[in-house]
Amino acid sequence: MEEEERVIDLGADVDAAATARTALRRHLVDVPDDVVETACLLADELVANVVLHLGTAARMVVRRSPDQVRVEVSDPSTEHPEPRDGDLEDLTGRGLHLLDELATEWGTTAHPGGKTVWFTLALSQAG
């Protein structure tokens, strides 16, 4: 199988994260459920951060190859995300910790229009 790519433009509203999850589930139909659910959780966190902290639209790109899924969420901010320490009652601040724990790898890439936060999930370790 060759690499497949899907681009999803997301609004700056409360439905953006749900739209991202739905798009991922549709695009990753033959990927193991645990990978799909992890991708949805992490993408939800990234998209929600854009809407919550920036109040802007985002673009999500999903790339799937035989050995991994890569999800990229781009926004117009040039500020790179920083992990925060919080306590269990905090409603926000866990997204980067989830990326550290669940993604095969992740990072941030700066570009002239802002930045892209991305993560990969290995398909070979699924199941």
pLDDT in the model for residue 43: 96
Name the pTM for this structure: 0.88
pLDDT in the model for residue 97: 85
pLDDT in the model for residue 86: 55
For tokens 């199941």, name the residue: 127
d(CA 13, CA 106): 25
pLDDT digits (tens, 9 = 90+) for 75-98: 999 988 776 665 545 445 567 888
pLDDT in the model for residue 125: 55
Low-confidence ranges of the chain (pLDDT < 70): 1-2, 83-94, 125-127
pLDDT in the model for residue 126: 47
Dihedral of CA atoms 59, 11, 44, 106 in degrees, nearest 10, equals 20
CATH number for domain 4-122, candidates 3.30.565.10, 3.40.50.300, 2.40.110.10, 3.40.640.10: 3.30.565.10
- CB burial of residue 88 (10 Å; 0-12, 13-18, 19+): exposed
